[in-house]
Each structure stands twice: as C-alpha cells, then as structure tokens.
C-alpha cells in the first residue's frame, strides 16, 4: 500500500481521528498536509506527528475551512493534491426542538460544505491527471440518527450523498470517491465521559467495555474503536489497491450499525 510520491491533505487533523489518518498516510509514504484553524496549534500538531512517524513528510496547512479566507489560505499552500481526506467536523448534544436555524446552518456549513468546496477545488486536477482519492469521514450517526444531536446526524447523512454524487462526477477517470462510516471512537475527552457514566474504579479496558455493554450494546466488538483502526481503512482506500472501490459508504464501526448495508 505504498503512497510514495503522493500528496495528501487531511482536514481537521491536529488531533483525534484526523491526526491518526495523517500519521497513517505519512507512514505509507505520502507527503501529508496537516490542517487546523490555528497556525500555531497546527504547527505543534505537525511536530507531534513527526515524532510519531520518524522520517515522515508532514507539513502545516492551516486555515479555517468554514470561511472563504481560510479556504483560500489552504489552497494557496496546497494548490493540488492526490488524496483529499475530509475529516473536519463538529458535534454536540442539543434537544431537537432547541436547535435553531443558526445551528442547523453551522453544522451544514462545517460538516458538509467544507468538504464540497474542497472537492470542487481539487477534483478537476485529479481527473486531468487520471488518479486521485477523495474520502469523506462520516459517522454511524449518519445511519443511526442520535436523538440528542440530530443536527450532527443530518450533516453526516448529507456527506454520504455528497460522496456518492461526486463519485459519479469522477466516473471513468481513475479517481475514486468514498465515505468512511466511523463508529464509537476513543478520542479526546471520551475517557472522562466513560468514567462519568460507569465510575472511576475500573481500569480503562474494563471501563470502556462496561460502557459499551450498557450504553452501546449494538457494538459487536464491545469496545471503543481506536483512531488508528479508522486510519487503516483510510490508508487502504487511498492506495492503488482500492482502485475498484468508489461511490461507497464503507463502515469501520465495530458492527455498531445493525444492518448488512451499507
């Protein structure tokens, strides 16, 4: 799965799933642009990732992609790319009837339109070169809409449609477009959340399994997914080995979604 000679942009990659994806692509040989809103914090993230991937080629591409100025900043830093991973996203709990118009728009703007704008910017040159990979990081919430954050679920469902539609735009060009449905994942803040629910007396492995049994019983692996496990699928889909996989919504959810498809 060598990505030698390829360039990748991973949005929202200063921490969590995005950082794991950036590290995975760098380990496979890609030159990886790390993106975050703040230039200083993004450069700090690059340094952390370089320590995780000795010899990896990573560089900073800061910019708030929800703004025209931030988008222009990133495109100026990286005019074209071979691999685009849209992992930028926001989430938060809110009772359904308390979600106002501004919040609906914000979730659509950040979680959906940032991906659309970057695809629109990078896909034409990918098609011209006859090779490219576009990956949109979705969520199990796209399929199992969470009652406590339907604005988030809506945005991730929309991302599945965006992926399928742009895959059709790229048909026959050598460019693939897919979405990745990530399940409950061990990211920053999750340990505290889990311990708040199950108590602080258990070792972490036991605590997370107790949490999954009680609060996420649909999971077939009965533990949280590590960000690196999501990154493994992304690296594969970014590689030449995945040349016949496009237009798909591929799950790395630990069996959380109780469905054969997608």
Catalytic site positions: 152
How far apart (Å, rounded) are the C-alpha atoms in residues 153 and 138? 9
Q: Could you count the other beta carbons within 10 Å of the beta carbon of residue 261? A: 7
DSSP assignments along 156-179, one per residue? HHHHHHHHHHHHHHTTTTTEEEEE
Q: What angle do CA 138, 144, 145 make, to 5 degrees?
A: 85
Q: Which two tokens stand for residue 184?
A: 């409950």
User: Which residues, in sequence order, are bridge partners of residue 60?
Assistant: 34
Q: Which residues of 169-184 are buried (b: 16+ CB within 10 A; e: fewer)?
A: ebeeeebbbbbbbbbb
| Of residues 199, 228, 98, 225, the one with CA closest to residue 150 | 98
How far apart (Å, rounded) are the C-alpha atoms in residues 137 and 156? 8
How far apart (Å, rounded) are the C-alpha atoms in residues 66 and 254? 31
Residue with tokens 């080995």: 241
Question: Within 13 Å of residue 55, how many CA atoms lie on the same side as its CB?
Answer: 4
Alpha helices in the chain (DSSP H): 16-27, 39-52, 68-77, 101-108, 114-129, 150-169, 190-198, 204-215, 227-238
């Amino acid at each position: 799965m060598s990505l030698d000679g390829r360039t990748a942009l991973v949005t929202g990659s200063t921490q969590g799933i995005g950082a794991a994806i950036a590290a995975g692509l760098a380990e496979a040989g890609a030159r990886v642009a790390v993106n975050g809103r703040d230039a200083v914090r993004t450069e700090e993230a690059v340094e952390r990732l370089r320590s995780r991937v000795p010899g990896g080629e990573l560089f900073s591409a800061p910019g708030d992609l929800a703004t025209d100025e931030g988008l222009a900043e990133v495109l100026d830093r990286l005019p074209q790319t071979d691999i685009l991973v849209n992992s930028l996203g926001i989430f938060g709990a809110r009772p359904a009837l308390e979600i106002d118009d501004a919040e609906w728009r914000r979730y659509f703007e950040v979680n959906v339109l940032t991906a659309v704008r970057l695809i629109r910017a990078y896909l034409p040159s990918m098609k011209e070169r006859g090779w490219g990979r576009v990956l949109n990081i979705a969520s199990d919430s796209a399929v199992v809409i969470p009652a406590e954050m339907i604005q988030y679920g809506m945005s991730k469902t929309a991302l599945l449609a965006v992926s399928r539609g742009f895959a059709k735009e790229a048909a026959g060009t050598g460019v693939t477009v897919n979405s990745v449905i990530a399940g409950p994942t061990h990211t920053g803040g999750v340990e505290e959340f889990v311990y708040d629910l199950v108590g602080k007396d258990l070792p972490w492995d036991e605590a997370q399994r107790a949490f999954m049994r009680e609060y996420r019983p649909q999971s077939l692996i009965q533990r949280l997914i590590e960000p690196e496990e999501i990154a493994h699928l992304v690296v594969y889909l970014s590689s030449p080995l995945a040349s016949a996989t496009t237009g798909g919504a591929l799950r790395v959810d630990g069996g959380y979604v109780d469905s054969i498809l997608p």
